[in-house]
Structure 1
Amino acid sequence: MQHPSTAPASWYQVSASPAPSHPSLQGEVDCDVCVVGGGITGCSTALHLAHRGLRVRVIDAETVAFGASGRSGGQAIAGFNRDQQAIARIVGSDDAKKLWNLNEEALKLTETLVQEHQIACDYQKGHIHVGMKPRHAEALRHEAEVWTRLGRPGIEVWDRETTQQRVASPRYTSALYDPNGAHLHPLNYTLGLARAAASAGVVFHEYTAMERWENPTSDTVNVITNKGRLRSRFLVLAGNAYLWKTERRLGRKIMPVGTYIMATEPLGAGIAASLIPGNEAVADINFVLNYFRLSSDHRLLFGGRVSYSGLDPLNIGTAMHRTMSRIFPQLAFSKPAYAWGGHVAITVNRLPHLGRLTPTVYFAHGYSGHGIALSGMAGKVLAEAIAGQAERFDVFARIPHASFPGGTWLRTPALVLAMAWHRLRDLL
């Protein structure tokens, strides 16, 4: 992806809250914990560790919120990127229930962090999963039954009439409404977490890229960067899709996938409200999905498309606007004002990948499109584990993860073929 200084600005960038710059690392410094990555995972980890009295430094090769945390669709989605039955088959019923409870807490934690730290990020409750085919309606009914049985409140299943009243598109014929989900301005949310962490004593270093790390003794981790060296007791690798080339052992477990968002010009309050009267976030349930929501200045933020090459497709804004106009033909008159992309990290089983490389080197990544809430929760359980309370972290760490087949060179073509099959199935 292009650097923000050369890429067209995202709507998030032009509507971002003022944020301080942070100096690069200079020389050698000591700390209790070094966190690599200034996204939601890194900022949440640092904030929760600082509240426990630890000395924390966060380094980022670019700037705070440079990656997916500052570019994503901003949807705090309930659940994981696998259904609960599949998760139970992977980890067993006991851990599946624990993962469910952790995800429920993740949604509440997001709201709590916004409120406690007074983060101005346009936080709005409500999420709608929409379907277009009879099999989608059946899948949504089944999901609603499972979620209700597990204790999630307020779940509703909508027929065609209600769905099209709540999402003004002729394409959607069924929906699952979840009042517990939410959406927000992800860049402002991440910058707000960083501001809260800095207020708690965390030191940030931007444009400071980790080159390698060494674990010479059981209580020392040396982090060598392009600007200097940090000596810490613990290291947390939280670079997600942007760290896979630096730490190859983790890189084999994730695939960086490009995804893209287009923001329309302002539509006006009336037109915007007619599209999604309840101002919820919306996502369809195709494997290669579209997702969208309204912005605070009455634009439609519309996301979708995927890329596996690391290169942005040509004319992203035009292509995304064309797709959006098929879903909302009443917006054919509008124009794309901003278009941008970023990488998400997906895992083979689409569940988050947390664990340890050594007893003092931790990692968390691979949220597979569900990172807004889960990454904040990952930071909380990382902090718990480093403080000696690893029970909840270990629930995540016990999830088995396979490497992507094909190695560095062949796994991308293999995934492209697999995704092409799923895309074809979406169209049938």
Structure 2
Amino acid sequence: MRFPMRPLPPPAPHAPSWYAATATLAPERPALRGGTRADVCIVGAGFTGLSAALDLVGKGHEVVLLEAAQVGWGASGRNGGQLVNGYSRDLDTIRARYGVDAERALAGMAQEGAAIIRERIARHGIPCDLVDGGFHAAFTPRQMKGLEAFKKTWERHGLGGLDMVDRAGVGQYVASDRYVGGMIDHLGGHFHPLNYCLGVARAFEAGGGRLYEASPVIDISPLAAGGVEVRTSAGTVRADIVLVCGNAYLKNVLPALEGVVMPVSSQVVVTAPLTPGTVEALMPANACVEDCNYVLDYYRRTPDDRILYGGGIHYGGGDPDDIAADLRPRLASTFPSLAEVPLEYAWSGTFALTLTRIPHIGRLSPSIWFSHGDSGHGVTTTQLLGRLLAEGVHGQRDRFDAFARLPALPFPGGRTFRVPLTRLGAWYYSWRDRLGIS
């Protein structure tokens, strides 16, 4: 196939985030031009695609990775940077829905995503400001009971690293009187997600992988002789297998995947640098924090003495008219002393939500594999699912199949009504949070 040699647009710039402003230098990577061949083509250079790509080149596969914009451009480079272990549904819910075998299988992988991040940072020397410790903050005694039940379930599966924290101990993690207690996950933590993506990309290329930016995929077609052709506006990749890891940014390339996920945006602000000692007083242990509400807030310190604060969701994607104005009241309710502090960065990122809140991973055909729908737990879950994709391609499918056999359900109301119906459900649970009955 021949393509016109017209000039291609440069990669889309990163969101105006603190991460982009403090990112490590990255090389200029070309867009794909013309035809090429690989064992595996991966669509999307975010967490999932990069995870699969690095493992596959390590297993000896020839891999081409296509990114529509730049490495880590989507949610992978815009999130709160928190390593939260587990999934968006707890293991008790997984057992009730899918049975004991599914619970046991997913429990065995529940802490692996964060372990993969730590292993890659150490092995490849990735500078991304990793700090251990994640605090789950409870507003009500009912939420405390939920955390206690969570801890007991995990310990029943041999999973550790969790300790309950009473009201008197909250101040070790956050100087706020909003919480009645919480739980510290010593195996959680926080990092600079964009710098992590850039580091994994460098390791992938050092291992022999080929990475093309500014190369949005416009078509994926099975070939009559076997394998698949992946087409961009200026090139093609013919491969035995394609791994589709575009998540909320896939843009109808595979319509069969669209009905089981919904784009949801979350917003983040970052304060101006605080006066010496202030950030340490507000968050002494330097653990990241997320609360236990249905529509939760999450926040942490940065290495340059700021507070990074995220929260709020917009179903269907998109941004509020003023992100800073939207989040300032939430920041001020947690830290009244920061009510008037300047907010120097404000941005949004979009993730893919499933109706079940369980990631959707599987195969559309022997040559088209996919993973998406991490439902707000993407930082760690994507690392795991990328590894499972690589294992499956390499012929080891037991762990891949443990996720792939879980049913994916379409959102009620289809594309027209899924957003208002989901908003209605979120309003109900937010109302319960405000009344203290969640």
Moved more, 107-116 or 218-227: 218-227
1:173 paired residue among 172, 175, 180: 180
Q: Name the residue aligned to 1:379.
A: 386
CA deviation string 1:42-95 (max 9, x = no partner): 111111110111111111111111100000011110111111110112221122
Gaps of 5+ in 2: 1-9
Q: 1:148 to 1:50 in 2, by over 3 A?
A: same
**Maintained 8 Å contact 2:262/2:353:** yes
> 1:333 Cα deviation (Å)?
3.7
Name the amino acid aligned to 1:114: I
Q: Name the residue aligned to 2:322.
A: 315
1:210 paired residue among 207, 211, 217: 217
The within-5 A match list for 1:269-284 is: 269-284=276-291
Q: Name the residue aligned to 2:342.
A: 335
The within-5 A match list for 1:85-100 is: 85-100=92-107
CA distance in 1, matches of 2:152, 2:391: 33
TM-score between both structures, scaled by the size of structure 1: 0.96
TM-score between both structures, scaled by the size of structure 2: 0.94
**Maintained 8 Å contact 1:16/1:188:** yes
Moved more, 255-264 or 216-225: 216-225
Q: 1:26 to 1:308 in 2, by over 3 A?
A: same
> 1:7 Cα deviation (Å)?
8.0
Name the amino acid aligned to 1:86: T
**Maintained 8 Å contact 1:76/1:373:** yes
> 1:321 Cα deviation (Å)?
1.9
Moved more, 140-149 or 347-356: 140-149
> 1:342 Cα deviation (Å)?
0.6
CA distance in 2, matches of 1:50, 1:282: 35
1:26 paired residue among 33, 40, 62: 33
Name the amino acid aligned to 1:357: L
**Maintained 8 Å contact 1:318/1:336:** no
1:402 equivalent to 2:409? Answer: yes
CA distance in 1, matches of 2:378, 2:102: 20
> 1:310 Cα deviation (Å)?
3.0
Q: Please state whether the residue corresponding to 1:396 is helix, strand or coil.
A: helix
> 1:140 Cα deviation (Å)?
1.4
CA deviation string 1:11-31 (max 9, x = no partner): 000000101121111011111
Q: Which portions of structure 1, spanning 4 or more consecutive aligned residues, are displaced by more than 6 angstroms? A: 3-8
CA distance in 2, matches of 1:174, 1:379: 35
Q: Please state whether the residue corresponding to 1:256 is helix, strand or coil.
A: strand
Q: Name the residue aligned to 1:124.
A: 131
Q: 1:162 to 1:4 in 2, by over 3 A?
A: farther
**Maintained 8 Å contact 2:178/2:334:** yes
CA distance in 1, matches of 2:374, 2:245: 11
**Maintained 8 Å contact 1:346/1:369:** yes
> 1:311 Cα deviation (Å)?
2.6
CA deviation string 1:122-176 (max 9, x = no partner): 1111111001112111111211222222222232111111113421111111101
> 1:4 Cα deviation (Å)?
9.5
Q: Please state whether the residue corresponding to 2:252 is helix, strand or coil.
A: coil
Q: Name the residue aligned to 2:6.
A: none
CA distance in 2, matches of 1:154, 1:416: 35
Q: 1:232 to 1:271 in 2, by over 3 A?
A: same
Q: Name the residue aligned to 1:288.
A: 295
CA deviation string 1:247-288 (max 9, x = no partner): 111111111101000000111451111111111111001110
Name the amino acid aligned to 1:92: G
Q: Name the residue aligned to 1:41.
A: 48
**Maintained 8 Å contact 2:12/2:69:** no
Percent of paired sites with the same residue: 38
CA distance in 2, matches of 1:425, 1:365: 29
1:190 equivalent to 2:197? Answer: yes
Q: Please state whether the residue corresponding to 1:102 is helix, strand or coil.
A: coil
**Maintained 8 Å contact 1:34/1:234:** yes
The within-5 A match list for 1:228-243 is: 228-243=235-250
Name the amino acid aligned to 1:77: V
Q: Name the residue aligned to 1:13.
A: 20
Gaps of 5+ in 1: none
